[in-house]
Structure formats: C-alpha cells, structure tokens
Structure 1
Amino acid sequence: MDEEGDFLTGIVFGTFLSVPVALFIWSSAAEEGVDLNIEWETLLAGAAALFGAIFTVRTIRRQISSYEKVERVNREKKLASARAVLPLALSDIVQFCSLLITWILGGRNGEMPTMPAEVTEIIREVIEWNDSDDVHVVLSSLVSRMQVVRARLRPESVGRSEWNDRLVDAVELTAMAESLFDYARQDTRYPREFLSRENVLSIMRRTQIPEDNYTHAYNIVRVRNYENSLSNILPD
C-alpha cells in the first residue's frame, strides 16, 4: 500500500473511532443539561475544519508527488544527455594521453599537448545527475587523476629523471578512461576493471614504449600496488 493509501486508511479509521466518542460526549452533555444546539454547532464547525485540513493535506501531498515526478524525469533526461557525450570526453582523454606519450618519447620537442577544457565539465555533469555512489567514486577518481597529470606536467614540477613517472601517469590515465567506455555507451550499469597492472602493461606495449629505454617506467608498474583498484569494490 502506498503512502496516500495509508493516509486515507488512517482517516477512515479515525472517523470510525471519533463517531462513538462524539456520541458519548453528546450523551453526557445532554445528561448535564448543556445546550446541545451550541455544542452541536461547535462539533460541526470542528468537523468541517478537520475535513478541510484533510483536503488541504491531500492536495499538498499530490502536488509534492507531482513535483518529485517531474524532477525525477528531468534528472533522468539530463543524465541521459550528459552520458550520451561521455564517450566523446573519454576519447579526448585517450587522445590526449596518446599525444602526451608520443611527445615524451619524441624528446619533448614542440608544444606540449593539452587536454580539451570541456572534458572535465562533461564528466562533472554525469557525476551531478547520477544517483549511483559507485559511479560517483569512479568518475571523481578519474577527474582527480586528470588534475594530478596536469599538475605534474608543469615545467617546475618535472625533473629530468622524472619523465618515466609521467609516462606511467599517462598510461594509467589511458587505462582508467578506456575502462569506462562500456559504461559510457550504456553497455554496463557499472564500470568494469578500473585499473590493473596487466592492463597498464598492455597499454605500454601497445603505445610502443620501449622497455629497454624506459626500464624504470616498467618497473614502476610492476611494483606498484593495484590491489586497491576500484574494480575490487564495485558491485557485480
């Protein structure tokens, strides 16, 4: 039974209880010589006020229910709209990482690649309109990693020996973005395999990062603890 049904049941039950109580009071008043006409008018006025209040409450409840339904529909539409362009945002992230890896491997000649500004806004909208705490955690972690990658690429933040670490940053960000494609395309309800060592190493080989020249980068991945990856806490 819904809330309105429970509310109406309470009204009916209360009415049946109030009738014998009112009759008892009326009978007692008659025995005491009380002017029943005045008391009866008072009782009718009180009953009218009660039912008026009941009608008002029901009207307000219906208005609230209607408002909540409209809000839910609008929220679903906005989420669908944001999620529809999420694959494009993820593609932009992967493309940025690919250009960054190529730029680092090429000796960092030319202008350093930058990530499109709208990417963060698209992901933020998906977070805002999504009710799933798990998706919030995953997408928030992705945005956080994007911010870390950007911060670490500032000239004053990168020493000559630290470009191996920046390569790993780019590869891990690639892995995180690629793991969300199925979710973004609405093939799955939750993201799958958010980050794993095997996945990161596979991307390093796919992007042709030579292990002989970047042994330190490969060693970073091989010793890094990925056991706390979000893939282990997401529901099946």
Structure 2
Amino acid sequence: MTVPTSTSNDRADTVFVHIPPRPPIRSANSHSSTTSTDSSASSNLASGPVQQVIFRHGRVEEAGAMTEMQFSNYLFHYHSILPRPFLDNLDFEQMTAGHVKKLMPPVDKREAAYVVAERVDAATGQPEIIGMAQSMVPNWERAYNHRFYDGWSQDDFDCEIDTLYVKIGVQGGGIGRKLILGALQEAYDRFQMRRGVIIWTIVENTQARNFYKRIGCEEVALRTLGLGEGMSCECVAYGFRTVGEAIGK
C-alpha cells in the first residue's frame, strides 16, 4: 500500500482539537482530588530545544506514520509480554490499511475521532507526529469472556479509547493525558457520547495500568483477547462513569 505522508500544520484542512482543563481526579492512593489549570490546546515539551505541540484531527495520509508509532510501541512495551510469534507476524500493510479505512471521510460514529499530537522542532522547523488517540463506539466483538466487576456492565459504556500511543522517547510529558482528553472532547461534542468511557490494556502492562489510575480511571472489567493461532492474552479495562466526568463537564 502506498499512502502519501504529510505532517505540515499549514494545510487548510487542519482541524485543531480543544484540550479541556484536567478535571479533579481521584488520587491513586487516596480519595483526595487534584486539579490542574492546564487548558490550552498546545503545550511545550522540553527535550533539547523547546518544541511546540499542537493537537489536531488525524489525516488519512498520516496512516503510515501512525502505524510506525504503533509498531515501535508494540515492540518496546510488549516484547516480553506478548507471544513472540504474534509480534513477528505483525503486518504493517494491514495495520496501515485499517487506519486508512477509519480515517477516510465521512467519519461515522463507529470510528469517531482520531486526535494526533504534532510537534515542530524549534531547531529544524520540521513537524512530527508524536502521539495519537482514537475514541469510538466500543467494539465488544474483538475479544471474549468479558467479566465486569460489581456495579459495572457493558451497557454502561458508549465510548472507548481504542488507540493511544505516544512516541518512544517523549512519553511521560503529559502528551498521553492530553490525547485522551482531546479524543473524549471530540466524542462528547461531535458524537454526543454521554455514557461511560472504557479503555483496555494488557494485564501485564503495568506502565499503562498505572497511567490510567493516575488520570482517575477505575478498574472495571477483564476479558480475553485472541491473538490468532491459539494465542491469547488477558486484558483489563479502566473506565470513567461518563464522558463528561472525564473531561470535567
């Protein structure tokens, strides 16, 4: 597959995404709350020269760059977690085609919104995608053996954060949190999603699990994800009661 690539933020079709202020969240270790006044749609990521970060809609011609970031995250975070045959058989072309299909207009509620983080290096002036998130209608059919915790059920959710990746080397600077907030703001405004938010990760991925706890999610369910040819892994879900709760509505 040949997909044209472009990350220029000067294009006329650029649609910037509003990043809402971080709402009060529950501490991972207590019931206290913390707040943040960070409400801008851009941020500074200090790594060498100061680099400006913008948040905007993803474009179909960026599908290849998205897959590259997804691949690097898989290999970096999952090399000791997922079966080696699964990682060896990751199909770049197939994954890129999946992103293209979801990004092709018209974007419907099923696929909802892709939000990307893009920085421009002050030294070179070159733009680069350093993060992506996708909000969508929950896809319950991709896995099996769902086990919801007491007080939760599948009917509680009408929004899923399906994709969240930040470029290796710039993680830990708040980009992931802003991508989630932006994707949920899009789900709320464009697709009127008002019920709960669910986010799945692999049980052994302690880094992701700790991140979701820090941003105020509750642990809500477990499931089994099929990886093909007899391979599977256990996943855990984190969630917010409502999209509005997550973005401070």
**TM-score bin (small chain):** under 0.3
| Structure of greater Rg | 1
Whichever structure has more strand as a proportion of its residues is: 2
TM, length-normalised to structure 2: 0.24
More relative contact order, 1 or 2 (CA 8 Å, 6+ apart): 2
Whichever structure has more helix as a proportion of its residues is: 1
TM, length-normalised to structure 1: 0.25
